[in-house]
Structures are given as C-alpha cells and as structure tokens.
Structure 1
Amino acid sequence: MLRWVVLLVVFVIMDLYAFQAFKTVAKNNWLRILYWLITVLVIGNFVFHYYGFNRRDGFSHAHAYAFGFLVVILIPKMILLLGMFAEDIFRVPQAIYRYFSAGHTAKGDYFASRRQFISKMALGLAAIPLASIIYGIYRGKYNYKVLKYTLHFEDLPEAFDGYKLTQISDIHSGSFDNMDKIKYAVDLINEQKSDVILFTGDIVNNKTEELVPYKNVFNKLKAKDGLYSVLGNHDYGDYANWESDEAKHQNLEDLKTLQKEIGFNLLLNESKYLEKNGERIALVGVENWGAGGFKTAGDLKQAAASIKKEDFKILMSHDPSHWEKKVIQDDYHYHLTLSGHTHGMQFGIEIPGWFKWSPVKWRYKYWAGIYEEFGQYINVNRGFGYLAFPGRVGIWPEITVIELKKGVSNA
C-alpha cells in the first residue's frame, strides 16, 4: 500500500509542474480540464489493473495497454518536470532574495513569473517522445526491419561460401493483437530465401495456448535446410501460476510438440550437422542460460558432445550473457553465436551505421547487433515480438539475414 501512496505523490508533484508548462499555451479552460481528465483516467486505469497484480496470474492485453498509456503520459511529463525544475533553480533564490530585501511587510508575489519561452521549449521537447511513443504503440511494434550482414571466416567450408541464414527471436506470441501483421512478417521472412531459418527462443510469454492461434501462420515458414529453434527463459512457464508441477511440465511438453508441428527442429542441449556438397557445419543449440537470476538449463558441453572441435560451429543460445560469461572462453571456438532476449528494451535511438543507444546497455554489454571478440561473432537479435510495453520506440522488430563468406573480413 505504501508504495502506491508514494507513487501517487510522485505523480501529483510531477503533474503540478507539468501543468504549469501546459497552461502557458492552453488558455482555454476546457483544454485544462481535458488535461486533468486524461491524467486521472490513465493513472486510474493503471492502478485498477496493477493494484495487487501478480505477474504469475497472467499478463493480459489490458495490462499491457494500461502500462503503455502510463508511459505515453509519464515520459513527456518527466521532461516538463525537468524543464520547470531547471527554471526554479533560478526562480527560488531570486524569490528568497526579494523577500528579505523588500522586507516582511512588502506586498506582492516574490516569485518571478514563469517565462513562456521556457515552458514552450519544454513542451516542444516533450512532444517528441509523446509522438514517438504513440507511434511505437500504434505502428512501431509491427515495423519489421530486415537487417543484413556479411561475415567472413577463413575456415568456413568451401561449400558454405555464400550460405544464408535468417534469424528471428523473441516472438512472444501471447502479446500479439494483429494477425495480418504477423502474416506479413512471415511472408517477409520467406522472401529472404535463406538456406536455413533459426529461432533463438521465447516463442510464448508463458503458456503454449498463446501460440495456438498462430500455428497456421508460422507453419508457412520455409527454408531449404529447415527450421531450427531453442528455448528461451519464457518458454519454460516459470512466470505463471500452475495448479501443479505436472501441469507446468505438460505445458512445456505441449510447447515442444507444437513447435514440431510448426516445422521447427528444437535443439535441447544438442547439435545437428548441416551438410552441403560433402562438407558440413555444426549447428549447436542450448537451452536457456542466463545470468542475474534467469534460468540456467543450458549445457554447452552436452550440446557439443557429438561434434568435433575443428568443426565450423554456429551456436544458438537465447541469452547473450551466456556468450559473455561462458562461450567466448570455451576452447571449442564457436564461430557465430545467435542470441536475443534483450529486445533492445523496445526503446532507444538508432541511426544505422552511426549511432545505437538504449537503456538496456546498462544491463547487457551485448544487447543488439553484431559483436566480435577473440575472432568469434555474436548477433543479438532485437526481437520479432514485444513484451509488457505494447510497442517499440526506435528499436524496431528485427529479421536478421546473415551471409557466410569464406575469406578474411575487409573490416
């Protein structure tokens, strides 16, 4: 209860500051009433859905949009708060000086009037995230981007020179609310005509039933050398309440079966050779291995037990912290690792080839795109779907296409 009281006090303080900026341009009383009406409705809706909320009871679309609408008003108001507070750094000392210099009996307001320029500038800055977040909820979450990379390896088998793979990750089917957009994305994946499609975990939020409506969409995925997948932390059902351990176990077994029916070959701490013209590369898949409290079912040694150290290896591991903590130090030398998990936090700023930033970088060293360490590469996919916040702002849903080339990189 106390935390809700604290949150409401924070919101009130923030809104009082934000409203000071808003009323400088909104002279009409009806607009001012509308400001407070929207604020009360959004905060009330959030409290209604989250008071007493337990993540294990399920996270519905209503929960997602209650959180999303809160973010829509919260971030712009934080900017307004900073703008107004920055002005008060000068106004308060001036007011104190005027009070004491004029004497206790002086009449009038000791605070200088707020400058319209400051308020309007703060409103202009706040309008940028406001528009971006609204766009992110309305269209950004389905704004699929195909990102293409070419990676060179001296020891790549000749037969695989020019081999193309498509990686998708973090489908989170329980979050979707537009079937047509998913059909479009599946068509976009197939248009890449890659040799193999690799999915790196989190196909659901919690339960197999979330994927059932999309079975006949994802089973349209096609690749000459097949479809392969691994499990992510959400696929185990660890974040849901179950009536029994047996029910939880059955959910996971049902998920494995459903992935097979879609066409995925699920790799559970095991490996598979991809063969071409008498040569082969090893595809290794581990169960989820995550740092910081996430499930650590992945067993790299077990997964690689049937392959050779000198094989060219592609590793599928959901969480990039596995690559950082275990994989790049392993003496088997995994040429390319494919991960996901971070979603790029679904929020950030990217100028392709120039600049990339998201708050998630404070949690994960490797959080989006291609990285190289000790002659080994990892691609951290930004995710196909979305979770919790029902949108994406600046970090768009990703379909990765990687072409393998034999030779020395020009980079």
Structure 2
Amino acid sequence: MRADTGAAGAYFRSMQAALKGLRIYLADAKSPLYAHGLVGQVLIPYVDRLEATFTAWEHRVGFMERFRISRADSGFPVFQNVLTLENDRATAKERLAAMPEVEALKVEMADFILRHKQFPTALQEQIAERLYLEDIGKDAVFAPFILPETIRVSVNPKNRRPYYVVHWGVFDGSQTLPMVYMATIEDSSEAIAKSLIGADGKLNPEIEIPLPVGGLLNPEFARGFDASAEKNGAYSLSPVTIAQNLDSDFEHLHPKQLRRFVLGPFYSAGVTDNSDKISSILSKVRKDENAWLLTWTMQEVFSVTERPAKRGLWSSTPARDEYHINTDDLEATRQGVSDYQKHALVPHEAYQALYASGEAESIFSGFTVHVVSGNQVISEV
C-alpha cells in the first residue's frame, strides 16, 4: 500500500476498530471467554501492544513510501514490518535527540504555509517520523517475541509441587499472525519447593511474591525457559508438539496445560484479498471502520497423566507428561489439540450486510460470532 492512495488509511481505521472491539469483548466479565479463567486478563495487554504497534505503523506510513500487508493470507502486516520496527527501536532515542519537538515542527509548518502558500510535505513527514519514534520508544509494541511473564503461583495439593501460570507472545513470521501463549507448569525441583512451600503443603505466607514476575518464577530455569519458548513459538508447530518440546527440555518442569490464542485472519474491504466472498460483501458497507471481520482461534492441550521418572543403575528417564488429543474430532486431531474454539468478531453493519447476502451461515460455520454494536459486544449470535 502506498501512503497516498487512501487504502492505508482505510486499513488502519478498520484494524484499530477491530482491536477496540476485541478489547471490549475481552474486558466483559460476562463474556464466554471468562469460562477460561485468566485468559481475558492475559490477552488485553497484548491487544494494547497491537494497538500501539498499528499506531506506530500508521505514523510510519506518513514518511515511508510503502507498507506491505499479507493481503491474501492473514490480513496482517508482513513480518518485515515487525522486524523493521524492532530494529528502529534500537536507535529511537538517538534519532529523537537529533530531531525538533513536534510542537516546534508544527510552528515551522504554519510559518512555511504563510510564507510560501504551499503545503510543507517534508515537515509533515518529519512530524510523522517523530511520532513514530516516540511510539516505539515506549517499549509497548508487539515484538517478534515477547518474553514470558509469571502471573500466578500456587501449589498442587496432590503432589505438593508449586505451579506457575506463565504467558508470552510471538508474531509468527511465516504466517504473519500474532499469537499469545499461556501455560500452567508444575515445578518438581527440590530447591524451589523448600523455598515456596510451608510445612502444611501450601504456599509459605512469609514468602512475598510480587506478581507479575518477568520470566519463569524459578530463576534456575528462567533463562532456559525463555529460550525454549522462543524456539518453540512457530505457528507451524502444533500445541501438543510445543507442550512435548517444553516438557522434554526440562527435567523438573512439567507443562500441564498449554493454550494458544491465534489472532487472524483479518478481512478488510478494499484491502485484503483473502476471501473474495467476504470482500465483496464488506465492500457494500459505507464506513471503513465498519467494513471488517476479525477471526481468531483458541487452542488448548492438557496433560492426562504423567509417566513417573525411572532411576536405574546405568540409565534414568525423567518424568514425562502424556497429552490428550481429541481424536473424535478430525479438526482437533489435525490441529494437535485437546480442544479448540473458533471465533469471529464483526461490526453490526457488516454483520447485517453478510446476513442480507445469504452467505452468513456458510461464512460463520463453526465460529462463535460476536457482533460489535457501539461500546458493547453481543456474543453467540
């Protein structure tokens, strides 16, 4: 997309509207999502990151010639945009220090217009670049890999192991999809048990844990877990494969549940080509901010049993988990999950257009539909 075609503006308006609608849905304690515990709480900061990232990209379009999105597939910006933003973050402070403040540039723009009776395109581009650098300098964008964070610590009363709820983010380069991972992990290492668990088998109340904690709570494994999560973050890996890989990377960490939230594809009228049927219907919607459809998938895999460790004279085998795959559901088997849910978020005007076309049933087959109407989301339409 070129910055001067208007397509970029339409795309950013529709994407920002979609992310706003998604946040409304996630923040609603009455939504079906809250049957999944902490999922809503975990996801909202990642949506915030995406909003900040798209705001930065929109400013970048103001001073760069082109901005590419994955028109035919995910509908999200191609991975090169993510990498460029990440590279620019490294030099943002130095570049900002060498530039005038936005207010000074605006004064210069006004003076230029009065003196030359022309629009100062170069100054406008400088303002856009300044705003872009300020945005990415806040360290709140969606990076290729967002480090794990521990948000809950408890104890399994059956085996007296501490367990952690951890989440992290990945922007997949091959499929251009933002994803959020969330895992419940038991820790069987003796040192952490002595540190965290009291004589009654519960968390020691004298140990203060200032949640959230950056990284895995156990410092012995924190750096290794970061590396394993990044190595196993690709969309091409099924959730069961990721859980098994995390399990095999650590003798004393036992993933009991892994969830993956895959955002996309995104459909935007006049911009994306990932569905001719959807695009042609959305093109009849008058406003860009209402001419979109956002889908996402929630995948889950959980452990059904743990094979105990075996200690022998010549060799030993660490404890390993066995994960449930729902073989009664062909799609669950294909995805490598115990369970999955497909969701679609759509503005009321776009939903009406889709419904009037007679195509709504086929388009939304297998999806739970959420309709954005003003500042509320009506679910399970």
| TM-score where L is the length of structure 2 | 0.29
| TM-score where L is the length of structure 1 | 0.27
Rg (Cα) greater in structure? 1
Which structure has more strand as a fraction of its residues? 2
Which structure has more helix as a fraction of its residues? 1
